[in-house]
Structure 1
Amino acid sequence: MYRHLSLVAAGLLAATPAMAQQFTTAAEIRPILEATRASWLALRPWDGKELLYFTHLESWRCGMAEVRFSVNSSAATRVWDMPPCQTGTAQPNAIPADRLPFAELPPEALQTVTVVVVLADGTELRQDYTRANILMP
């Protein structure tokens, strides 16, 4: 029994460095962004307008150089301004408490949206959405 506990403890200690990753590089966030493409944006009707949320992308911003987007166009020329990475803290990707990670749009204005994520290594990830793909209830 003690041998089993020692093996479990050794396994946990071996896993510790991997769990300590802060996900602040392009190499670290690329697989996450690839796996979560459907969640990059969300659209929510609210108080007579619509809010286009960038929360997911802001949560991984430390490995990004830039996020561009466009509404009802595939040009993706509008830059989404994100807060700086909180380097030197335990949670460098944490979104500041006073941050509102959404753009306000007129009701029913968004039919499509295109997003281009430029990673810190210069590579680009592009995703196109229809309104129905990102509309929250």
Structure 2
Amino acid sequence: MKTPFLILAAFLLVNAAHAQSGFGSADVSSGEGEIGADSFDVSDMTPDDQTPTGKFTTAAEVGPILQMTKGNWAAVREYDGQDLVYWSHIFSWRCGLKGAKYSINDAPLQDLPMPECHMKYQQPNSILNDEALMTFHRHELGSVKSVRIDVLLDNLTTQSVTLLRENILIP
């Protein structure tokens, strides 16, 4: 009984912090679950069943979490003479997604390759073995000024955010 309360309390704190931060940009879309956003072609897709699994594998389960934690969707780290852009947060909730796209500095959107969900395990969103190497991309040092991420949830709604370097730079 303590676990659901702690999870709820954590999400409420995160939501309050992000409401104050503005997600790092004045040019941030709301991502309230827009159907058929222009970054994804959903014409030949059907929404997945939204019956909660308790394993966070549906849009019904991960959508609210992603909405509240948009400021964490990407991170930038200066390391070994490069900018590393981390996607760990998106990967952690990927099992409720049909896809994701990203753009660095307003470049054209491109697909964000993600590992498959590991449905045979208790925690299907886990990152296993070499999948950890997929959680970041390398760029020239100081070159990443903004990161846009669009996600397509498995109910065929989308969420999107644009994050500024200074607000997602980590040590």
TM-score (norm 2): 0.66
Contact 2:72–2:89, Cα closer than 8 Å, also in 1: yes
CA drift of 1:121 comes to: 1.1
Does structure 1 conserve the Cα–Cα contact (< 8 Å) formed by 2:75 and 2:85?
yes
Structure 2: 5+ residue stretches without partners: 6-52
Give the distance between the partners of 1:132 and 1:80, measured in 2 at CA: 22
What percentage of residue pairs aligned between the two structures are identical? 37
Secondary structure of the structure 2 residue equivalent to 1:110: coil
Residue 81 of structure 1: aligned partner: 113
Give the alignment partner of residue 28 of structure 1, picking from 49, 61, 67: 61
CA deviation vs aligned residue, 1:13-58 (integer Å, no higher than 9, x gap): xx9xxxx710000110011101111111110011011110000000
The equivalent position to 2:165 in structure 1, one of 126, 131, 135, is: 131
SS at match of 1:98: helix
Structure with larger RCO (C-alpha < 8 A, sep 6+): 2
Report the TM-score, using the length of structure 1 for normalisation.
0.82
Unaligned runs of 5+ in 1: 1-10
Aligned-pair RMSD on alpha carbons? 1.8
Q: Which structure's CA Rg is the greater one?
A: 1
What per-residue deviation string (whole Å, max 9, x for no partner) do you get for residues 63-98 of structure 1? 0011101011074x2111000000121110001132
Change (3 A) 1:32 1:80: same
